[in-house]
Amino acid sequence: SEFLETRPFIKPLVHCLGLLWGNSQYYCTSARMVTLLKEIANQIIIAASTQLDPGSIFQVEPEDMLIKVDKCINLIEFFHSCFHAVRENVASYFRKAELQPKPWTFHPRTVFQHLMDFTERLRLVRSIIA
Nearest CA to 10 out of 67, 91, 105, 74 is that of: 74
Of the pLDDT bands very low, low, confident and very high (cuts 50, 70, 90), residue 1 is: low
CA distance 49 to 69: 10
Output the pLDDT for position 90.
95
pLDDT tens-digit series, residues 45-88: 999 999 998 888 888 898 999 999 999 999 999 999 999 999 99
Output the pLDDT for position 107.
95
Phi, psi of 46 (to 5 degrees): -60, -45
Other residues' Cβ atoms within 10 Å of the Cβ of residue 113: 13
Report the mean per-residue pLDDT for the chain.
93
Strand, coil or helix: 61: coil
55 versus 19: the higher-pLDDT residue is 19
